[in-house]
Structure 1
Amino acid sequence: MSKKEHKLDHAHFLVPPGKKVNLKDYAPGFTGGFHGKKEAKRALLEDVSELAEAQELLWASAQKSVLIILQAMDAAGKDGTIKHVMSGVNPQGVDVHSFKAPNEAERLHHFLWRFMQRLPARGRIAIFNRSYFEEVLVVRVHPEFLETQHISSKQQNIPLDQLWQERYDIINEFEKVIDRQDVCIIKFFLHLSKDEQKDRFLDRLNDADKHWKFSAADLSERKYWDDYQKAFEDMLSATSTAHAPWYIIPADHKWFSRAAVADIITARIQEMELEPPQVDDEQRALLKIAKQKLLKE
């Protein structure tokens, strides 16, 4: 089945602005009608090819840029998604940033500061593997992390629920500003089931070649599964906007999640209707002269 015969319905994954999200309504094992890995891989290859063409036009036109954000529970496949989806693009036009816990210098700034410095220039794609949304996810699940952060005097001593809401509002305002600067924001939540996470952890433990992928901290965070699900639900509900919507991508089957992400990114760039650089009369004359010189050699 070719990609043209099998079009994914992006609306199925989109979180409409103002919608209250309940992750139990989204099946992590959903496969969008694909009958197996072979079909999805074929669709992924076609999307990767189309994405390479779209990125070339994005780069050449230098009119707009793309910010891709990936958020998920541990082992949901963020790294693999980046590797496979971006496998065909020109690496000179793509920057991948994996954000860990902020260091001491970064904590002295506003929580958005370090992310602002990594926004893509016109013509480029930036991928945030985890992002400023960690400030309403991991910090919400572990509010003790706030003790090491710089909290403004206006936010000190306010209830935590109010603090998270203020951060949602700040993030929405930030994304609205960069959207107005021609940054296309594409946000993905890779929705993994708890059982599948367990299987992937065991796979890493049972395969010596994958031991490096396992972290004891991942297992420790698994104890907070329900807290994270609640944090994700509230974050998705509060920060999916018309200019920067969230897509909830079923992630129990890596072959499907990669195909879905590639399809959405490609479509979003194509929707920009970018135009290649135009050659004026003077340049056209110079090109003609260059061609004549080459033909005379």
Structure 2
Amino acid sequence: MDAINTDDFKFTGKKKLSQLPTKVEFKATEDEMKKQFKKTRKELSELQDKMYAHNKYSVLICLQGMDTSGKDSLIREVFKDFNARGVVVHSFKTPNSTELEHDYLWRHYIALPEKGKFAVFNRTHYENVLVTRVHPEYILNENIPGIDSVDDIPKHFWKKRYEQIVNFENHIVSNGTIILKFFLNLSKEEQRQRLLRRLEKPKHNWKFSPGDLKERKLWEKYFDYYGEAIEATSSDNAPWYVVPADDKDLARHIVLQTISDALLKYTDIKFPELEDKVENNLDFYRSELENEK
């Protein structure tokens, strides 16, 4: 089967988001892909155990995408083999009253992973330059001094937020957090088909909301602002990967392989060495346990 070159999906700015594919050809049988996926997933879970013991790095996985792009199922499949203590998933909804009493990044700061652990942000701090950009009236809920109406939002407001987000990410990277950001690049037609499936299958009806259709009509706006945000915030410290998402299985495979490839570059991640006094007495401790009555 073909090897996945994850660098192919790293956003470089050479092409606009609208020029990047939502579907790619991959030479592999379904069985080959499943076998490789399970192998890589197991290796990643073992690496997480090592990271937990090493206790110096944490990992933040950021997932963004249009509705139905497959974020929930991707999280379920990619992190299935993890020790439950080693990964926490945060699904960020509309800010609640407590969150709105703080700056827009506060709720993301307090959800950052502890050293040795993974956190997955299912929708992220980027919602604050995406949903609020499409619906600028939401900014008024933040009660920012000097902004009492949409007309008060200055032209440089969004550029400033991009800078703040980059600073936020640089800060946590410098303190040991590894950041990988994924945009699940779904076509508008594939979204239409997935929404139809939600309506056709009773067990998926609960996922459908009339609001999905309302937001779908704003597809072009969302896509433009996604492109602008990704271009402004993809960096060596916190790269964006644009993952073709029309094929859910392949999207999961690309994300899993990208995480694995990125973490394997950290060759200093090792199990801690035993203290000399413990290592020199292993046989004694073993004998004591074996002879215990």
Class of the TM-score when normalised by the shorter of the 2 chains: over 0.9
Q: CA deviation at 1:172?
A: 0.2
**Which of 165, 168, 178 matches 1:174?**
168
Distance (whole Å) between structure 2 residues aligned to residue 41 and residue 59 of structure 1: 27
Q: Which residue does the alignment assign to 1:281?
A: 276
Distance (whole Å) between structure 2 residues aligned to residue 210 and residue 160 of structure 1: 42
**Which of 93, 99, 104 matches 2:92?**
99
1:78 has 2:74 as partner: no
**Which of 122, 125, 128 matches 1:135?**
128
| Residue pair 1:93, 1:125 contacting (<8 A) in 2 also | yes
Q: CA deviation at 1:171?
A: 0.1
Q: Secondary structure at the match of 2:62?
A: strand
AA at the equivalent of 1:79: D
Distance (whole Å) between structure 2 residues aligned to residue 246 and residue 169 of structure 1: 16
Q: CA deviation at 1:91?
A: 1.0
AA at the equivalent of 2:193: D
- Tell me: CA distance 1:108–1:21, structure 2 relative to 1, closer, same or farther (3 Å): farther
The RMSD of aligned alpha carbons is: 1.8
**Which of 10, 13, 24 matches 2:9?**
13
Q: CA deviation at 1:283?
A: 1.4
| Structure 1 length-normalised TM | 0.93
CA deviation string 1:103-122 (max 9, x = no partner): 12211211000000011111
Distance (whole Å) between structure 1 residues aligned to residue 90 and residue 107 of structure 2: 11
1:151 has 2:144 as partner: yes
1:63 has 2:33 as partner: no
| Residue pair 1:78, 1:129 contacting (<8 A) in 2 also | yes
| Residue pair 1:21, 1:237 contacting (<8 A) in 2 also | no
| Residue pair 2:66, 2:186 contacting (<8 A) in 1 also | yes
CA deviation string 1:166-208 (max 9, x = no partner): 0000000000000000100010000000000000010110000
Q: Secondary structure at the match of 1:189?
A: strand
Distance (whole Å) between structure 2 residues aligned to residue 166 and residue 51 of structure 1: 36
| Structure 2 length-normalised TM | 0.94
Distance (whole Å) between structure 1 residues aligned to residue 219 and residue 236 of structure 2: 29
Distance (whole Å) between structure 1 residues aligned to residue 141 and residue 14 of structure 2: 31
Superposition map of 1:41-60 within 5 A: 41-60=34-53
| Residue pair 1:34, 1:40 contacting (<8 A) in 2 also | no
Q: Which residue does the alignment assign to 1:251?
A: 245
CA deviation string 1:38-71 (max 9, x = no partner): 3332221121011111111111111110000000
AA at the equivalent of 1:81: L
Q: Which residue does the alignment assign to 1:118?
A: 111
Q: Number of matched residues?
A: 290
Q: Secondary structure at the match of 2:140?
A: helix
AA at the equivalent of 2:232: A
Distance (whole Å) between structure 1 residues aligned to residue 14 and residue 213 of structure 2: 29
Distance (whole Å) between structure 2 residues aligned to residue 267 and residue 172 of structure 1: 23
Please list every run of 5 or more consecutive structure 1 residues that lacks an aligned counterpart in the other structure. Answer: none
Q: Secondary structure at the match of 1:121?
A: coil
Q: Which residue does the alignment assign to 1:189?
A: 183
Larger CA deviation: 41-50 vs 203-212? 41-50
1:272 has 2:291 as partner: no
Q: Which has the higher contact order (CA 8 A, sep 6+)?
A: 1
**Which of 285, 288, 292 matches 1:290?**
285
Q: Which residue does the alignment assign to 1:218?
A: 212
CA deviation string 1:104-141 (max 9, x = no partner): 22112110000000111110000000011000101100
| Residue pair 1:168, 1:238 contacting (<8 A) in 2 also | yes
AA at the equivalent of 1:59: Y
**Which of 245, 256, 259 matches 1:262?**
256
- Tell me: CA distance 1:36–1:231, structure 2 relative to 1, closer, same or farther (3 Å): farther
**Which of 228, 231, 252 matches 2:225?**
231
Larger CA deviation: 40-49 vs 129-138? 40-49
AA at the equivalent of 1:281: D
Q: CA deviation at 1:25?
A: 1.7
Please list every run of 5 or more consecutive structure 2 residues that lacks an aligned counterpart in the other structure. Answer: none
| Residue pair 2:40, 2:260 contacting (<8 A) in 1 also | yes
